[in-house]
Amino acid sequence: MLIPLIIDDIVSAVSEFAGDVVSLDPVLLQLTIFALLLGGVFALAALGLTMIFGVMDVVNFAHGMLIVAGMYTVYFVTTTVGINPLAALPIAVVALFALGVVISVTAIEPIIEAPEENQFIVTLGISFILLAAVQIFFTPDPRSIVMDLGRYQLFGAQIPKGQAYALAIAIVAMAALWVFLQRTELGTAIRATADNREGAWYVGIDVPNIDHITVGIGSALAGLAGAAIVIFSPFDPFIGESYLVKAFVIVVLGGLGSLPGAFVGGLIVGAIQVFGGFYLPGTTNEIVIFLLFVLLLYLKPTGLFGERRA
Amino acid sequence: MSKDSNPRIGSRRTYLKAIGVGVTAGLAGCTSNDGNDGNGGTDGNGDSGGDGGDGGGGTATGTPGGNTVEEVVIGANHPLSGFLGAAGQAMTNAGKLATMHVNEEGGIESLGGAQLTFVSRDNKGTQEEGGPVEQQLIEEDGAHVVTGCYSSPVTLAATQVAERAGVPHIIDVSVANSILQGRGLNYAYRIQTPASGMAGDYARFMPELARANDVTMDTASIVYLDNAFGQSIRDTLMSALPEQNVEVLEDSAYTFGQESMDTEATRVKQADADAFIFVGYGGGGIRMMQSLQNVDYRPPLLTGTSTPTFTDNDIIKQIGKFANGGFGNNYQFDFNKEQTNKIFADYRREFGRELGVTHAAMTYSVVKVVQAALEEAGSADPEDINETLKTITVEDHPAAMPPIEFQENGENANALSPMFQVQNLEGLVVWPERYAQSEAQF
């Protein structure tokens, strides 16, 4: 009974949307801007998750809490040292890289060859530990260090500067990661490990070391996402859950291990959330996101940009 | 990243995706739970009835009636850790302070000066802990009366256990209508306004306040949290506002933990109603106010109900200047009573911090109700206390509401959630005039 209702809602929403397109309703530009801004942040949030999976075949369920750790790193530095949250961004990246390496060495590497269930349990365990630590040190209360940066105007539509900066950070981070993976020796080693771990061993690549660096980079990207989010959004210790869920949907949508897939997947999910939130009743947009997720698993299990591994 | 020819990887990835769907769905469930920001006059909804854990029918440990009682135990089933920990701690502290005040004044006179003891245990804000914690308070700590539990699902479970044990449970804070309504409980009472009452108070007071100041409130838009709690508030508003000649032009839902509320803010801006009403927890409130600024829109009347957004000073500070002028409604201390000043001063002295959580008014009042019931009953037997609660009228309490009297279903007949306004980043009661700390500013 639920599916026909949802389909009916979607048909009505599409009809209303088409009407707005025909009448060139200015709200479309506003929604498009918000979809781009949110999609960019989602893509950044998913980047580290897809990278770790691409190299190590480990689904890191601590990823959401690593994003939160990035948020609270910026919060801590900003409130104790008194520096601008933007200036605290590199500190969050370095801190989370270090945390990622520690997690990799102490928790992930020992069970890298263990059954997948062990990896889920371990990474979920790390997530719970991080959640408890954040609550102990910072309390569960919501926090906000949102910067009052103002807005740009574009044909009457508002572009919040904080979100625009976060989108810029996301794009720069993705570009930098791509350059790093494609143009550096270490990046080549990481790609080689992702392609064939056993082969990488045979050609002399220190695979465990690559794993540690990969988890470090993935965590640093999560930290960067968290640091970028606090510029424009309030946060609490539990917000990581929703980012983890969205990130997982995005990496499956885009293709597990695919960096371009994470970007495109982020934009798609952002667009569904924004346009769906506007045109669909209630919170049907959330259902649409998960329907898309399940449908894609059935129809194209490799995702939009993923490649089938024989 | 390119492919290899490792068959193990292929099957492993399929497996990982399949597991991932399950775990993600599970996490999605987590993100859509009825959490709470721990700051407002609201809690998670309580429409899912709990079974009170695995506790069997515990037996009350009530002492025989008479004047030989030395100690009466009030058990507090509060969230002292986790997401709701900050609020739970403040509530427990308020309960401890109230017992301290009662004891300083000589204890329970009709019981020969028996002292009150306030014993608090941690339910962690989780439904599965509600029953067992209630059981421990009754059986191990010998509670004659229990209070709590803040989160409605927890309270549902806890009251079930108290009912079986025959021990009165006086709810300080838990908003869901379903806790008392339709369950036929004989040992459960509630001081605060339930969800429908809180939204009903808003629908009555806000238009009244606006019109008394020649401000138009003929239309409204609503953004509400999409869970049973938020939906029940929204439904009450949808039926109660038209009765006050306020037309609801637009209502939008958001999910718990939603990353951005810019879309909802865009809808609110498009509706451009006289009043915007926000329903949800503190985190959502902060995010909503940020999103309204993102779309460069301030509603003529910025308001909320069943939310800490405009009533909790910690949340107000997080929002910043944009919150100034915002209206909300919640239970609160009556600042026109002398005892309120003493409560705040003593709280600061005893616990080393300001009393900034409005829930504390309800827990403190529970202790005053217990004190009155004990004096009236002249007995510490839970059965006697329970019978007295059904007929008692408690005037001596610090909450901004008339005397507390319980109806047949356990609800406080005179529960009230007065209107607040944020003035200079502080939530102040402005309506009804009887409880006002300040005049409303438009």
β partners of residue B110? none
- Are B1 and A273 a contacting pair at CB < 8 A? no
Residues of chain B with pLDDT under 50: 1-11, 14-16, 18, 21-67
Give the tens place of pLDDT for each residue, B130-168: 999 999 999 999 999 999 999 888 999 999 999 999 999
For the full predicted model, state whether its pTM sits above 0.75: yes
Q: Which two tokens stand for residue A168?
A: 């810029």
Tens digits of per-residue pLDDT, A50-103? 988 888 888 899 999 999 999 999 999 999 998 889 899 999 999 999 999 999
Q: Rounded mean pLDDT of A123-137?
A: 92
C-alpha B431/C-alpha B440 separation (Å) is 8
Distance from CA of B240 to the nearest CA of A (A): 20
Asked whether the CA dihedral A226, B36, B164, B172 is positive or negative, the reply is positive
Residue B24 contacts A where some CB pair is shorter than 8 Å: yes
Q: What is the pLDDT, as a whole number, of residue A307?
A: 65
Summarize the confidence of residues A164-191 as an average pLDDT: 92
Q: Can you tell me which residue has the tokens 């994470």?
A: A262
CB contact (8 A) between residue A151 and residue B294: yes
In contact, B400 and B420? CB cutoff 8 Å: no
Distance between CA B18 and CA A295 in Å, rounded?
13
Structure tokens at B206: 């806000």
Strand order in the sheet with B71-78: B115-122, B71-78, B145-148, B169-171, B188-190
Number of separate helices (H) and strands (E) present in chain B? 12, 14
The C-alpha atoms of residue B383 and residue B79 are separated, in whole angstroms, by 27
AA identity, residue A98: A
Instruction: Report the gap between the CA of B5 and the closest CA in chain A (Å).
Output: 5
Chain B residues 195-214 with CB within 8 Å of chain A: none
Nearest to A65 by CA among A107, A128, A138: A128
Sign of CA dihedral A66, A67, A68, A72: positive
Question: Cis (ω within 30 of 0) for the bond into B30?
Answer: no
Query: What is the distance in angstroms between the Cα of A177 and the nearest Cα belonging to chain B?
Result: 13
Question: Dihedral through CA A279, CA A280, CA A286, CA A288, nearest 10?
Answer: -100
3-state secondary structure of A106: helix
Facing residues of B221 across strands? B250, B276
- Per-residue pLDDT of A181-202, as tens digits, reads 999 999 999 989 888 888 888 8
Structure tokens at B337: 């009573």
> The dihedral of CA B75, B80, B86, B87: what is its sign?
negative
Q: Do residues A47 and A262 lie in contact, with contact meaning Cβ atoms separated by under 8 Å? A: yes
Phi/psi region, residue A203 (left: phi>0; alpha: psi -120 to 50; beta: rest), is alpha
Q: How many CA atoms lie within 13 A of B348 on its CB side?
A: 7
